Chain A
Amino acid sequence: MLNVGQIEEGFVLDHIKAGKSMEIYHYLGLGDLDCTVAIIKNARSNKMGRKDILKVECDIDTLNLDVLGFVDHNITVNVIKNATIVEKRILKLPRELRNILKCHNPRCITSIEQGLPHIFVLADEEKEVYRCKYCEEKYAPSSNLDMR
């Protein structure tokens, strides 16, 4: 069994679907941050068989985890302070996704306007529908999540 040391302050993202940890790494922009990150792939799990885990040592205010609710709301987010779990955060669908989804509507202003962020707004929480803030194009599951 692989052992990764405790973290003093930061997050442990547990129950990530096996093989998806690098995707989460990119969504959270961890590559741009100067913090310690442990990526554990294919760990044994009673609940899931196999799972990924991400441990991020950072100030807990530096990371915006909203996007996780969109990517996979089954991820368990443990908030760590002084090496103990102080909060288990419940993930919700974020109200807005900024530069996570790309609008593929060729008639949308985002297709020509330089430097404009791609913003999708939660239009229907129950059906998990997002719409482009500008043209109201619906996010379809087949769209590419290709912003990062």
Chain B
Amino acid sequence: MRHLMNPLDFSVEELDRLFDLANDIEKHPENYAHKCDGRKLATLFYEPSTRTRLSFETAMLNLGGNVIGFADATSSSAAKGESVADTIRVISCFADIAAMRHPKEGAAMVASQFSSIPVINAGDGGHQHPTQTLTDLLTIRSLKGRLDHFTIGLCGDLKFGRTVHSLINALSRYPEVHFIFISPEELRVPDYIIDMLKEKQISYEEVIKLEDRIADLDLLYMTRVQRERFFNEEDYVRLKDFYILDAAKMGMAKPDMLVLHPLPRVNEISVDVDADPRAVYFKQVQYGVYVRMALILTLLGLEE
């Protein structure tokens, strides 16, 4: 049985098949409207995440399936002290597939070890959020037509942002991707990522000012500086508005540069950018549903 814990669990070839399926779903949704008739997805959300949970639930409903689950730990048996292992053994009797969000790192992996149904990691603390990475890759592949030979700028909190780390790891498997890391000194990309890039001889640069390199980018991945990552409010306040992408900066960018963001955004992208056709962060949300539909079909063995 197949689970998804980490975006690297799928080979590049398997991802290609998954993205082809997602693109076919996008073009012909009617062909998939009953693929999961009679099947159930359990969304086991031990911490609130409205966006991810609704995306999973929409994906299953679009496939004709049903959804059960809980949206926070207080309304589950976890509040009574039930282990993740026991919860998934019980849920395996109710549903055909599960998506789990948990504040503890590795929780979904524990679930997969005790489960008799496929488990999707829908975020485990600050560790992995593989379906966000699949969403990012599908968005880039669909709108750029490829996942190789481009320059991508990653801007903002590159230290704590797990979506950024996962995306760098995933893109490092494709040829000729040049990374430009744009962050304040305090939020630089961690050493282990830099070590990985050096080992694989992948080119990268680290800069502080977005304006210096925006003209060279084919893709710009913006991130939010998250208040909960800081121990001291003063540092957060100083860094939260370090980068603001606005129409003036967009004027310096290539006409076909795409702007992505895992959302929610706060101040880092000015609302005057939203109408720019290069701003694709809301399309990205739609691709998130397609890729989760493709993933559910693949893990249930219904992709053919």
Contacts and interface: CB of A to CB of B under 8 A. Distances in A.
Interface of A: 105, 107-116, 132-137
A116 B110 contact: yes
Given A114-B83, A116-B110, A133-B109, A109 B126 contact: no
A135 B106 contact: yes
B105 A107 contact: yes
Nearest to A137: B105
Contact of A112 (B104, B109, B126): B104
B105 A113 contact: no
B158 to A, nearest CB: 18
A112 B97 CA distance: 24
B139 to A, nearest CB: 26
Interface string B101-133: 011111101100000000000001111000000
B243 to A, nearest CB: 27
Contacts of B103: 107
A129 to B, nearest CB: 10
B123 to A, nearest CB: 13
A115 B82 CA distance: 12
Contacts of B107: 109, 113, 134
Given A109-B107, A116-B110, 4 more contacts: A113-B84, A132-B106, A134-B106, A134-B109
Q: How large is the interface on B (under 10, 10 to 19, 20 to 34, 35 or more residues)?
A: 10 to 19
Contacts of A113: 83-85, 104, 107, 110
A110 B125 CA distance: 13
A134 B173 CA distance: 23
27 contacts: A105-B105, A107-B103, A107-B104, A108-B104, A109-B102, A109-B104, A109-B105, A109-B106, A109-B107, A109-B109, A109-B110, A109-B124, A110-B106, A113-B83, A113-B85, A113-B104, A113-B110, A115-B83, A133-B106, A133-B109, A134-B107, A134-B110, A135-B104, A135-B105, A135-B125, A136-B105, A137-B105
A111 B127 contact: no
Contacts of A135: 104-106, 125, 127
A122 B84 CA distance: 25
Contacts of A112: 104
Nearest to B5: A134
Contacts of B109: 109, 133-134
Contacts of A116: 85, 110
Contacts of B85: 113, 115-116
Interface string B49-75: 000000000000000000000000000
Nearest to A127: B195
A65 to B, nearest CB: 26
A137 B127 CA distance: 10
